[in-house]
Amino acid sequence: MPSTQVFFLLAATLALGAPNFASFETFGTDVLVERWHMSVANANKISSLPQGSCVLLMPLVGAVYDAVADRSHRVRGAIVGLVLFSASWMSLTHGLGPRHLTPILATVGIALGASLFFGGTWPSVPLLVDRAHLGTAYGFMTAFQNL
């Protein structure tokens, strides 16, 4: 059963979440160099972990979401992913959280958070929108992601 309200909540979550992921891609290396005193080469390696890890994690996250087969779990998973990503990013930038959380563990949290977030948002669209409006819904999602 389509749900317009849940779709727009999901789209709003994407509008808030996607820029957070983009900020890591933009500033991750700088944070690792300045805050954690890494060489640029090592910082580049670590900051590329989330993109590479997402390639491996997304199919696994998709399989878990498919096994649950409930759209509310996808939305909840997306929100949990956003929180996990944000907490990991804050631990890198501000040293919040446990002191033993190394940059590598934080970037793994970022990758897992991104996988949960994007793996929960995009596949939920056909579950929330009538088939006749699916193209428009994907257009909204793309526009919200690129805000």
Position 24 scores a pLDDT of 81
Position 39 scores a pLDDT of 92
R_g over Cα of the chain: 16
Q: Which two tokens stand for residue 13?
A: 């979550």
SS (H, E, C) the chain: CCCHHHHHHHHHHHHHHHHHHHHHHHHHHHHHHHHHCCCHHHHHHHHCHHHHHHHHHHHHHHHHHHHHCCHHHHHHHHHHHHHHHHHHHHHHHHCCCCCCCCHHHHHHHHHHHHHHHHHHHHHHHHHHCCHHHHHHHHHHHHHHHCC
How far apart are alpha carbons 75 and 77 in whole angstroms?
A: 5
- Give the pLDDT of the chain (147 residues) as one tens digit per residue: 567 777 787 788 778 777 777 788 788 889 889 888 889 999 888 888 888 888 888 888 888 888 886 767 777 888 888 888 888 888 777 766 555 567 888 888 888 888 888 888 888 888 888 888 889 988 988 888 777
- Report the C-alpha dihedral over residues 137, 80, 21, 121, rounded to 10 degrees: -20
Position 100 scores a pLDDT of 57
Contact 116, 77 (CB under 8 A): yes
Contact 114, 20 (CB under 8 A): no
Give the global pTM.
Answer: 0.79
Position 99 scores a pLDDT of 57
